[in-house]
């Protein structure tokens, strides 16, 4: 049924490659105010190079594999590509980043909640996180048949990780999840944590 629905929508198999340039520009606009950005699951660092070119941003990309890192730019200038676990980013201090982005990586993480908690740790108060991933009902499911989250599940993960104003929607013909949240300011955090505790009590 999903395959038939996608065929009716006229989605080509290279749909994600076709929208990549527009998606990257949209991400750059969304994070335009962030000068220090962490990219979780950075892959080849293609997005990071684009972010680094705009307004002199400092970009740190982290990926479990360094096989696709650009060797000439791995540890120089405004861009650093580091091999590591998203759930344990020891080399970044608390509150050292203005923004965190993750594209097509959340569904591949063994412990997504731990990675999101680590992302919140390195964000400054009011710093923002942006998650882009494939939704469960999507062309990606037919192409690669991996486990994907629903928008509501991503939103719930952000809340459990302690992010305020967590919200998720679908974009580009409902083929991508676009999810956001922010690290609460210090005076807000107790309220955020209290609401999360109440939710866990109700769910338990």
Q: How big, in percent rounded to 5, are the helix, strand and coil portions of the chain?
A: 40, 25, 35
pLDDT tens string 160-178:
999 999 999 999 999 999 9
Distances (CA, A) of 21 to 17, 68, 77: 8, 19, 24
Q: Residue 39 in contact with residue 62, Cβ under 8 Å?
A: yes
Percent pLDDT > 70 in the chain is 87
Q: Residue 162 in contact with residue 196, Cβ under 8 Å?
A: yes
Helix/strand/coil for 111: coil
pLDDT at position 19 is 97
What mean pLDDT comes out for the span 74-85?
80
CA 122 to mean position of chain CA atoms: 14
Determine the Cα–Cα distance for residues 161 and 183; give it in Å rounded to an integer: 10
**Interstrand relation of 36-40 and 97-103 (parallel, antiparallel or unpaired):** parallel
Residue 8 pLDDT greater than 50, yes or no:
no
pLDDT at position 202 is 76
Higher-confidence residue of 200 and 140: namely 140
What mean pLDDT comes out for the span 144-152?
97
Determine the Cα–Cα distance for residues 82 and 22; give it in Å rounded to an integer: 26
CA 116 to mean position of chain CA atoms: 9
Point out the least confidently predicted range of 33-42, 75-84, 150-159. 75-84
Residue 144 pLDDT greater than 90, yes or no:
yes
pLDDT at position 200 is 73
Determine the Cα–Cα distance for residues 85 and 135; give it in Å rounded to an integer: 23
pLDDT tens string 102-126:
999 999 999 999 999 999 999 999 9
Residue 189 pLDDT greater than 80, yes or no:
no
What mean pLDDT comes out for the span 15-38?
96
**Domains, the chain, ordered by start:** 2-203 (3.40.50.150)
Write the CB contacts of 204 (distance below 8 Å, at least 6 apart in sequence): none
């Amino acid at each position: 049924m999903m395959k038939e629905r996608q065929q009716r929508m006229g989605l080509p198999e290279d749909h994600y490659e076709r929208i990549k340039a527009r998606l990257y520009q949209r991400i750059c606009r969304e994070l335009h105010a962030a000068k220090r950005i962490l990219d979780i699951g950075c892959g080849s660092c293609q997005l990071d190079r684009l972010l680094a070119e705009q307004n002199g941003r400092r970009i740190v990309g982290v990926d479990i594999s360094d096989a696709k890192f650009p060797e000439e730019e791995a540890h120089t200038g405004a861009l650093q590509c580091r091999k590591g676990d998203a759930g344990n980013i020891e080399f970044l201090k608390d509150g050292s980043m203005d923004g965190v982005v993750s594209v097509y990586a959340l569904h591949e993480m063994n412990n997504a909640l731990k990675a999101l908690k680590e992302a919140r740790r390195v964000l400054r108060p009011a710093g923002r996180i942006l998650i882009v991933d494939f939704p469960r009902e999507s062309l990606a499911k037919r192409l690669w048949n991996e486990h994907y989250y629903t928008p509501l599940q991503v939103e719930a993960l952000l809340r459990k990780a302690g992010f305020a104003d967590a919200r998720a929607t679908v974009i580009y013909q409902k083929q991508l999840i676009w999810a956001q949240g922010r690290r609460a300011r210090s005076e807000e955090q107790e309220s955020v944590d209290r609401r999360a505790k109440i939710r866990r009590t109700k769910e338990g």
